[in-house]
A and B are shown apart, each in its own frame.
Chain A
Amino acid sequence: MECVFGLVGNGFAIVAADTSAVHSILVHKNNEDKIMVLDSHKLVAASGEPGDRVQFTEYVQKNVSLYQFRNGIPLTTSAAANFTRGELATALRKNPYSVNILMAGYDKEAGASLYYIDYIATLHKVDKGAFGYGSYFSLSTMDRHYRSDMTVEEAIELVDKCILEIRSRLVIAPPNFIIKIVDKNGARVHATRQSVQDVTTAAV
């Protein structure tokens, strides 16, 4: 029931992910950050097998860092997305990674961009994308309201509409979300949306 979605606005890209770590019927924690900061100007929102998700995203992050150390220049978002897809493709017919990724980035020349990379190594450059059961609701909502070159405020309004739709229509909807943004100033947390805090009761 993981929900990950994102969209491109005017000079920025925004991604939102639920923050539940679930195993069968148990919620391990509800503040798990599934949006990794890949480098100063890239975000990777990932959903899928928890072990694969962490393993694969960290592998990509370390390779992106290595490239930068070796060559003194960062990878473009497009190059990083293609590298990621290539690794998924290579592993696909041996030990596939069960990870879906939305990669958002900002490059000086290309501006803000969003890449849809699914677990069988599909790669698409998109304006808006989503994964998981939540995608049935968020994609439809984004299709209805998305315009190119939205401001940050308009984009957050749309993200909130999607979260509302997911919360009201998905049977086991995740309660909490984290929203991160990347623009010319870098990649950072923008906001969280919480309807359930961690429970800390004192036994009486």
Chain B
Amino acid sequence: MSRRYDSRTTIFSPEGRLYQVEYAMEAIGNAGSAIGILSKDGVVLIGEKKVTSKLLQTSTSTEKMYKIDDHVACAVAGIMSDANILINTARVQAQRYTFMYQEPMPVEQLVQSLCDTKQGYTQFGGLRPFGVSFLFAGWDKNYGFQLYMSDPSGNYGGWKAAAIGANNQAAQSILKQDYKDDATREEAVQLALKVLSKTMDSTSLTSEKLELAEVFLTPSGNVKYHVHSPDSLTKLLLKHGVTQPAAESS
């Protein structure tokens, strides 16, 4: 019966559901997971890469993490081509704000602005929603470090720790148990690696399957967005005892 109410995004079903929005969220549930964790001196974003061919040119581009402005970055889960459009929209919105006020755009306002765009696709135009969920990590002078999660419906929330993509419910429950309010950035990285290793499907956890980024303040007070190199990631995996090399399965 619900099939009658699928085809147009801009109508409700009799039970009061928007099926296209829910189907978009289904699509994201099959995509590579991403986890974000807020610590007192920074925000950690970690993502599971789905495309791991040896032939992929990985030196310059990232698959999961993107910088929106000097003080805001995001991790994506879902349809990559949809994500690119929204990332560009977010970048333009951030620059437009800075052009008008000569100040960096507060993180929540950026998230809200992007979510307003996403909401439009659930109410008018007859176009399908974007099949992307975001984790936004940033810093502003009003609220310090912040983490936001947004989904295709255009809803967003501020989180201390959040997960999107495949197995996000399992990841979220582990985070609920193990998250500590006053963790440092290093402890947050450790927690993120641990959670991802438990929820990832693959048998071995190597640096090629992961992307790890941190948003923090340099000693001079500037916001820095740092994506870890594969070497740095490998060292971290070893240090926190999280690597499960495929060879060691006895």
Q: A71-B106, A71-B109, A73-B106 are in contact. Are A83 and B142 (CB under 8 A)?
A: no
Q: What is the interface size of chain A, counting residues whose CB is below 8 A from a CB of the partner?
A: 10
Name the A residues within 8 Å of B141 (CB-CB).
109
- B101: which A residues are within 8 A, CB to CB? 75, 78-79, 82-83
Q: Please, how many angstroms separate the alpha-carbon atoms of A78 and B103 in the complex?
A: 8
A82 to chain B, nearest CB (A): 4
B60 interface residue per 8 A CB criterion: no
CB <8 Å contact, B102 and A78: yes
B98 to chain A, nearest CB (A): 10
Q: Which residues of chain A from 75 to 91 have any CB-CB distance to chain B below 8 Å in the complex? A: 75-76, 78-79, 82-83, 86
Complex CA distance for A82 and B103, rounded to whole angstroms: 9
Q: How many residues of B contact A (CB 8 A)?
A: 10
Interface string of A57-98 (1 = CB under 8 A from B): 000000000000001010110110011001000000000000
- Given contacts A71-B106, A71-B109, A73-B106, whether A82 and B100 have CB atoms under 8 Å apart is yes
**What's the Cα separation between A76 and B102 when bound, in Å?**
10
Considering the complex, give the chain A residue whose CB is closest to the CB of B101: A79
Of listed B101, B109, B141, residue having the most chain A CB within 10 A:
B101
Distance from B187 Cβ to chain A, minimum over Cβ atoms (Å): 30
Q: Which residues of B contact A73 (CB under 8 A)?
A: 106, 142
The DSSP consensus for interface residues of chain A is helix
Q: Are B103 and A76 closer than 8 Å at their CB atoms?
A: yes
Least CB distance from A108 to B in Å reads 10
For residue A135, give the distance in angstroms from its CB to the closest CB of chain B: 26
Separation in Å of the B232 CB from the closest CB of chain A? 35
Alpha-carbon separation in the docked complex, A79 to B141 (Å): 14
Evaluate contact between B102 and A79: CB separation under 8 angstroms. yes
Residues of chain B within 8 A (CB-CB) of A86 are 99-100
Q: Give A2 Cβ to nearest chain B Cβ, in Å.
A: 28
Kindly state the separation between the CA atoms of A86 and B97 in the bound complex, as whole angstroms: 11
C-beta contact mask, B133-147 vs A, less than 8 Å → 1, else 0?
000000001100000
Residues from chain B with a CB closer than 8 A to the CB of A76 are: 103
Task: List B residues 95-140 near A (Cβ within 8 Å).
Answer: 99-103, 106, 108-109
Q: CB-CB < 8 A to A78: which residues of B?
A: 101-103
Inside 8 A of A83's CB, which chain B residues have their CB? 100-101
Minimum Cβ distance to chain B for residue A60 (Å)? 12
State in angstroms the CA–CA spacing of A13 and B101 once bound together: 21
Which residues of A are in contact with B by a Cβ distance under 8 Å?
71, 73, 75-76, 78-79, 82-83, 86, 109
With A75-B101, A78-B101 given, name 13 new contacts (CB 8 A): A71-B108, A73-B106, A73-B142, A76-B103, A78-B102, A78-B103, A79-B102, A79-B103, A82-B101, A82-B103, A83-B100, A83-B101, A86-B100
Q: List 5 A-B contacts (CB under 8 A).
A: A76-B103, A78-B101, A78-B103, A79-B101, A82-B100
**Sorted from nearest, which 6 A-B pairs have the closest CB atoms?**
A79-B101, A82-B102, A79-B103, A86-B100, A82-B101, A73-B142
